[in-house]
């Protein structure tokens, strides 16, 4: 099974360690190296194939955006910075995503999953059957097959599984991006359900394990297509 080969270009040791730890927690990522400046990274790229670069903006010797412009055939790039004003320039250079420091793991995972999807055309698809989410400062592994439904609760989402319920600080949109679309369907602004666990449904509700979940007005076609 192919993994996405990545490098980190980051001159702050703490930020580099955070990215290293995050990468090690994602099975389909393979860290090739960490570089304190873009010059050292350029030398590595001349001799090695890389699928993804985590690129800081404020680097010594050569700034991140300037370095990016020197690449004739760049791999996927995820920009990491504490400064939001570079976002427009980053997306103009076709970066995959733009992460603001301090970076939360869920946001990191959302970004690298975009790279995973983008690379399916030229690398072997990496199949996953789980996600990791932050629950009370712990990263908890949750199997897709165990998830019944997900409910938005202001700044949190409640993930209801066959075994437990979890509260994680993230948006419904963020977790929806992490879930395989053929298994999980958004049926309401506040609810995502597992198709595999639907016991019955009407035009107004979906029933899962005795729980009635409302279908939003703008989502009725989702159920009809099931």
The predicted pLDDT at position 126 comes to 41
Whether residue 20 contacts residue 8, with contact meaning beta carbons closer than 8 Å, is answered with yes
Kindly state the tokens that stand for 219: 């989502």
Q: Tokens 């996600």 identify what position?
A: 131
Reply yes or no on domain 4-121 having CATH 3.90.1150.10.
no
The predicted pLDDT at position 177 comes to 82
The predicted pLDDT at position 156 comes to 94
When pLDDT is averaged across residues 129-155 and rounded to a whole number, the result is: 91
Residue 81: pLDDT band by 50, 70, 90 thresholds? confident
Structure confidence by residue, pLDDT tens digits, 17-43: 999 999 999 989 999 999 999 999 999
Residue 64: pLDDT band by 50, 70, 90 thresholds? confident
Structure confidence by residue, pLDDT tens digits, 93-115: 678 888 989 999 999 999 998 88
Q: What is the number of other CB atoms lying within 10 angstroms of the CB of residue 86?
A: 17
The predicted pLDDT at position 174 comes to 86
DSSP 42: H
* Report field, pTM of the whole predicted structure over 0.75: no
**What percent of the chain stands above pLDDT 90?**
54
Q: What is the number of other CB atoms lying within 10 angstroms of the CB of residue 141?
A: 9
- Answer yes or no: is pLDDT of 89 > 60: no
The correct CATH number of 130-225 out of 2.40.50.1020, 3.10.129.10, 3.20.20.70, 3.90.1300.10 is 2.40.50.1020
Whether residue 204 contacts residue 184, with contact meaning beta carbons closer than 8 Å, is answered with no
> Domain spans of the chain?
4-121, 130-225
The predicted pLDDT at position 55 comes to 94
Q: Tokens 């595999």 identify what position?
A: 196
The predicted pLDDT at position 122 comes to 45
> 61: Cβ–Cβ under 8 A, 6 or more apart, which residues?
37, 38, 39
For residue 160, the SS3 value is strand
Residue 124: pLDDT band by 50, 70, 90 thresholds? very low
> 158: Cβ–Cβ under 8 A, 6 or more apart, which residues?
150, 151, 152, 165, 166, 167
The predicted pLDDT at position 86 comes to 54
């Amino acid at each position: 099974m192919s993994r996405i080969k990545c490098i980190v270009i980051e001159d702050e040791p703490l930020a580099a360690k955070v990215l290293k730890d995050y990468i090690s927690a994602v099975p389909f990522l393979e860290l090739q190296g960490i570089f304190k400046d873009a010059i050292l990274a350029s030398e590595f790229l001349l001799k090695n194939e890389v699928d993804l670069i985590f690129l800081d903006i404020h680097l010594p010797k050569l700034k991140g955006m300037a370095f990016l412009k020197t690449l004739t055939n760049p791999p996927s790039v995820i920009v990491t910075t504490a400064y939001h004003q570079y976002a427009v320039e980053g997306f103009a250079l076709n970066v995959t995503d733009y992460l603001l420091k301090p970076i939360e793991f869920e946001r990191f995972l959302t970004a690298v999953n975009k790279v995973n999807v983008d690379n399916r055309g030229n690398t072997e698809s990496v199949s996953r059957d789980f996600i990791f989410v932050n629950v009370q400062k712990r990263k908890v592994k949750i199997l897709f097959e165990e998830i019944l439904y997900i409910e938005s609760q202001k700044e949190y989402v409640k993930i209801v599984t066959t075994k437990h319920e979890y509260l994680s600080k993230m948006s419904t949109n963020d977790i929806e991006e992490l879930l395989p679309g053929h298994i999980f369907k958004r049926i309401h602004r506040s609810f995502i359900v597992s198709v595999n666990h639907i016991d019955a449904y009407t035009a107004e509700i979906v029933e899962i394990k005795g729980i009635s979940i409302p279908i939003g007005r703008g989502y009725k076609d989702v159920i009809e297509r099931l």
